[in-house]
Structure 1
Amino acid sequence: MRLRKLVAAAVPLPALLCLSLAPAANADPLVTMAANAAPLTQSDRTGDVGADQQIPAALSLKLHNQQALDQFLSDVQNPASPQYHHFLTPAQFNTAFGPTQADVNKAVAFLKQNGASGIEVSGNRQAITFTGSAAQLESTFHTRIGNYLDKITGRKFFANDSAPSLPASVSSVVGSVVGLDNHAVKQHSATTAAPHVVKAVTPPILKSAYGTSGLSATGAGVNVGFVEFDGYKKADITSYDTKYGLQAGSVSTVSVSGANYDSSPGQGEVEVDLDIEVVHALAAAANDYVYEAPNSNAGELAMYQKIASDAKVKVVSISWGSCEAAEGSSAANSVNSAISTGTAEGISYFAAAGDDGTTDCARQTGSYSKAVDFPASSPNVSGVGGTQLTVTSSNGYSSEKAWNDGSNGAGGGGISTVFSAPSWQSKQSTTKRKVPDVAGDAAMGSAYTIVSGGSTGNVWGTSGAAPLWAGFATLQNQVHGGGLGNLNPTFYSIGNGSSYGTGFHDVTTGNNSLNGTTGFTAGTGYDQVTGWGSFKGTGLSGLIG
């Protein structure tokens, strides 16, 4: 869819410091959070934000023992390691790597001292959401907050004029300040009237073409999570299931930071329906947890932390995102910490790679510079690119090519500017993370048939490909008897080995050039249009540990 059990001991910390506005506090110097500057390029300041304007924000607290965590995340996906698939519980993660209660107390005391309200600590102690007036936040973080106008897109937003500052004692436990700007809004791009459909895909077609019909799995007993910033109507999901004779599990909404859009879904309703229904196409019997949060950086962070701390789900489908430049490195790294927590607990994340080719910022900032979508660019997420699927007269797999429908979108791909290349991507000759990792159907010509708003229609984009892979991973959870965590190391090991053709359809034609910018071309093996390609259901299942 176009949008868009090695457990180290916790490091002991000093007792809670007393923070006050008394003169003695001057001994606690301010530290500038340089990476937390708002993305203000190509924007004009139009005035001050009203002093009384209420702004939701968050503090992301630092993890402990980061080097040990990185080693654990490597070992837990290494079949040669004794730690292989020995995932952690949230409590075990908190003990080994999470912020301590003393860290939390220090940060909460600081917020209370500065008048913040609605303070809420995530279950894993990694994030603290709160609300403050613009005047309070300016005083708390030592920066002015202004209204801005994006000169290219015409979008109005507010942002901190300079990087925030914190007392040194507080900055020692805080990794980033999130939400002082609302420049990045998570995007989707559901289109309900695909104009050039050759053959729309339905559950029978997807199961046959991608080879999951031979798996003795329905998703039963597996819980799937969905990252959403809008709502849905259960009647539409039920109608889809009935239309295709699917025996579905439960569908539940999980409210984050008070958000629940189901009584009156907005324009993103079709996106939510697509996510749920495509997972149902392959793994209907799974239980669905639809996480709904405010569409802001603070809401996004709270949602990913809740998914990790709840530990209810083992697969997460993500079809909403921002280009990295709009997201900002501090917000991206904060969310990545939440996702790395989930992968340590055995959760597998799949995210749409975007629908703007290599120019992922085009619709957000108007920039045609090369950029990739977040969270698909997170090393802890499997980024999913787009293909156009062609099937035989009997709905078997015929071929795929890279999705590129010109002005109607092309599969995202490129090189991250935020994240370094993980070890399992070393053979792709890069110092920075490349996306996508895998791909699936996303084109107009092979659009997904769904039910949304009481009507049946066809939609397309990589936000259909992401839940397609999430559905496959759900089946694998059932087949292999539990969570699988970050599957990228497995995918790259298979792709670089002799069994590649057994597990993947290698997509070798097409490109993702768009908006007058030369993109990447699909070719043999890995490429930055379709990754390793799409899954061969039974074949890839047999290669996953």
Structure 2
Amino acid sequence: MRLRKLVAAAVPLPALLCLSIAGVAHADPLVTMSANAAPLASSARSGDVDAGQQISAALSLKLHNQQALQQFLADVQNPASPQYHRFLTPEQFNTAFGPTQADVTKAVSFLKQNGARGIQVSGNGQAITFTGSAAQLESTFRTRLGNYTDTTNGRHFFANDAAPSLPASVSSVVQAVVGLDNHAVKEHSATTAAPKVVKAVTPSILKTAYSTSGLSATGTGVSVGFVEFDGYRKSDITSYDSKYGLSGGSVTTVPVSGANYDSSPGDGEVEVDLDIEVVHALASKVSSFVYEAPNSNAGELAMYQKIASDKRVSVVSISWGSCEAAEGSSAANSVNNAIATGTAEGISYFAAAGDDGTTDCARQTGSRSQAVDFPASSPNVTGVGGTQLTVTSSNGYSSEKAWNDGASAGAGGGGISTLFTAPSWQSHQSTTKRKVPDVAGDAASGSAYTIVSGGTSGNVWGTSGAAPLWAAFAALQNQVHGGALGNLNPTFYSVGNGSSYSTGFHDVTTGNNTFNGTTGFTAGTGYDQVTGWGSFKGTGLSGLIG
């Protein structure tokens, strides 16, 4: 959802919205949470949300010592620092940077005073999810909730008419209110039935072309997490492993906020299957933890916080996201805090950069303005763009070009973030904002991934395949180097800017991501906003990772 002009902010709050139990909670001055501006531009209000409608939302609590946290995140990836790769345990992170127990108690008490139900605090105290009726939320956060229609694409959604307000004592510990609208639905980037397949890729092709066979690693002892908003059938994963003679590791579902889609997977089943199976293609013996959450901002936040607080995995593959404008700054920054937490604990995150070129909002809001995908745009995430892979007759690497199949099939996402400043390892480039992607991998319909989904074998493509491909490579690196590696972007940029670039990366220099009639970026020598630094040369890049 775009951060939009408020078309109904002047709607008065009726006296009925003041709950009798809220007197104490609202005794101190109200503070407007300006970052929670509602996604209402280009939208038409069609009436109030039914007062009894149940809505799940969340409070994202503030971290402490933010400047020290940013310094630690830099030091922990700096080989010259005494802190290099001395990652924190969740308990150590909570002590140094997390909300205090007093912060959590204050926020929970506020919710209870206002009638919230089902209150759940994340393991690290950073997120508090809850449920309330529309009337309760209107009273609690001092804003009406309306039904809207996005006039650019006809999508119906509910949203807060104005930015929410909190008592000053509560706003002092709360970063954002998440979930007062349902405009943001996470999109996956996997597309099936590829019409242009030249040569579909299989585990043996991927291992040979991307040179991982010589690593003598299978992912043994490494745990990989998957961010999912739908379910899967373990029989499909078993069939894939059997089809290609892989010795698959365990696959475990981790329900979040009551979500567990495995008994009846929906349209996103192919995405979940693709993610797990592509990781198995290179690193078959990893232990897989499939996190499944409600497809909402509150569900997304709860999932990322659970991944960080559980600390069960050292690599995370992400193929679902929203364009930054659809996500909104408050939700994006809340999730970014969760990802920063995991990064400080040594988790490596890889996210698909999207399949709509530079027009990442096209499918979600109808806008064809330049936009990038979140969470690929997070500085704590490696954003993965798309290429078309060509191999030799013996499955060796031949060439790659930027993936762009046009309107029928998509193009690799890339561009400039509007939310995040350029991190230090990217600040030498010609912008003050974060650039996406960082790296790239096979994503084209011409070199689609063959997977098993819904009991049948088929071809799937998109940056949803490229993200788990890189996650699989990171899992192999965890095994090779004997432990977690955290945010690998500083290493990738150091290699890219150094004399060993051609040893570690295939530089993709042809193609572009112009899409939907919007001029994009062109691939070229070195870094570009279509393919980043390019795809990995398995054994070569492995030797450059500390």
Is 1:54 paired with 2:54? yes
Equivalences, count: 527
Question: What do residues 258-306 of structure 1 show as CA deviations (whole Å, max 9, x unaligned)?
Answer: 0000000000000000000000000000000000000000000000000
Amino acid at match of 1:372: V
For the residue of structure 1 that corresponds to 2:237, the secondary structure is helix
Structure 2 equivalent of residue 143 of structure 1: 143
Q: 2:189 touches 2:352 (CA, 8 Å); kept in 1?
A: no
Structure 1 equivalent of residue 10 of structure 2: none
Looking at structure 2, the residues matched to 234 and 221 of structure 1 have their Cα atoms a distance apart, in angstroms, of 20
Structure 2 equivalent of residue 456 of structure 1: 457
Structure 2 equivalent of residue 93 of structure 1: 93
Looking at structure 1, the residues matched to 90 and 127 of structure 2 have their Cα atoms a distance apart, in angstroms, of 14
Structure 1 equivalent of residue 325 of structure 2: 325
Runs of 4+ in 1 over 2 A off after TM superposition: 20-27, 189-192
Looking at structure 1, the residues matched to 30 and 474 of structure 2 have their Cα atoms a distance apart, in angstroms, of 46
Structure 2 equivalent of residue 496 of structure 1: 497
For the residue of structure 2 that corresponds to 1:445, the secondary structure is helix
For the residue of structure 2 that corresponds to 1:359, the secondary structure is coil
Over 3 Å counting, the alpha-carbon distance change for 1:304 and 1:210 in structure 2 is same
Structure 2 equivalent of residue 518 of structure 1: 519
Structure 2 equivalent of residue 74 of structure 1: 74
Identity %: 86
For the residue of structure 2 that corresponds to 1:449, the secondary structure is strand
Amino acid at match of 1:332: A
Q: 2:404 touches 2:513 (CA, 8 Å); kept in 1?
A: yes
Looking at structure 2, the residues matched to 99 and 426 of structure 1 have their Cα atoms a distance apart, in angstroms, of 30
For the residue of structure 1 that corresponds to 2:68, the secondary structure is helix
Looking at structure 2, the residues matched to 117 and 208 of structure 1 have their Cα atoms a distance apart, in angstroms, of 53
Over 3 Å counting, the alpha-carbon distance change for 1:112 and 1:82 in structure 2 is same
Is 1:286 paired with 2:286? yes
For the residue of structure 1 that corresponds to 2:159, the secondary structure is strand
Is 1:411 paired with 2:412? yes
Structure 2 equivalent of residue 3 of structure 1: none
Amino acid at match of 1:447: A
Looking at structure 2, the residues matched to 484 and 25 of structure 1 have their Cα atoms a distance apart, in angstroms, of 44
Q: Shift of residue 436 of structure 1?
A: 0.1
Structure 1 equivalent of residue 427 of structure 2: 426
Question: What do residues 504-532 of structure 1 show as CA deviations (whole Å, max 9, x unaligned)?
Answer: 00000000000111000000000000000
Looking at structure 2, the residues matched to 24 and 404 of structure 1 have their Cα atoms a distance apart, in angstroms, of 58
Looking at structure 1, the residues matched to 41 and 514 of structure 2 have their Cα atoms a distance apart, in angstroms, of 25
Structure 1 equivalent of residue 387 of structure 2: 387
Structure 1 equivalent of residue 308 of structure 2: 308
Structure 1 equivalent of residue 487 of structure 2: 486
Looking at structure 2, the residues matched to 526 and 48 of structure 1 have their Cα atoms a distance apart, in angstroms, of 49
Q: 2:359 touches 2:370 (CA, 8 Å); kept in 1?
A: yes
Is 1:473 paired with 2:480? no
Looking at structure 2, the residues matched to 26 and 264 of structure 1 have their Cα atoms a distance apart, in angstroms, of 44
Structure 1 equivalent of residue 174 of structure 2: 174
For the residue of structure 1 that corresponds to 2:211, the secondary structure is coil
Is 1:126 paired with 2:151? no
Is 1:542 paired with 2:529? no
Looking at structure 2, the residues matched to 28 and 101 of structure 1 have their Cα atoms a distance apart, in angstroms, of 21
For the residue of structure 1 that corresponds to 2:427, the secondary structure is helix
Amino acid at match of 1:90: P
Over 3 Å counting, the alpha-carbon distance change for 1:23 and 1:140 in structure 2 is closer
Q: 2:384 touches 2:440 (CA, 8 Å); kept in 1?
A: yes
Structure 2 equivalent of residue 8 of structure 1: none
For the residue of structure 2 that corresponds to 1:214, the secondary structure is helix
Looking at structure 1, the residues matched to 447 and 269 of structure 2 have their Cα atoms a distance apart, in angstroms, of 21
Structure 1 equivalent of residue 7 of structure 2: none
Q: Which moved more, 1:188-197 or 1:484-493?
A: 188-197
Looking at structure 1, the residues matched to 430 and 335 of structure 2 have their Cα atoms a distance apart, in angstroms, of 26
Q: Shift of residue 192 of structure 1?
A: 2.2
Looking at structure 2, the residues matched to 134 and 189 of structure 1 have their Cα atoms a distance apart, in angstroms, of 32
Question: What do residues 54-96 of structure 1 show as CA deviations (whole Å, max 9, x unaligned)?
Answer: 0000000000000000000000000000000000000000000
Structure 2 stretches lacking a partner, 5+ long: 1-19
Looking at structure 1, the residues matched to 380 and 478 of structure 2 have their Cα atoms a distance apart, in angstroms, of 18
Looking at structure 1, the residues matched to 503 and 33 of structure 2 have their Cα atoms a distance apart, in angstroms, of 48
Question: What do residues 480-503 of structure 1 show as CA deviations (whole Å, max 9, x unaligned)?
Answer: 011000000000010000000000
Amino acid at match of 1:369: S
Q: Shift of residue 22 of structure 1?
A: 7.7
Looking at structure 1, the residues matched to 288 and 26 of structure 2 have their Cα atoms a distance apart, in angstroms, of 51
Looking at structure 2, the residues matched to 149 and 437 of structure 1 have their Cα atoms a distance apart, in angstroms, of 35
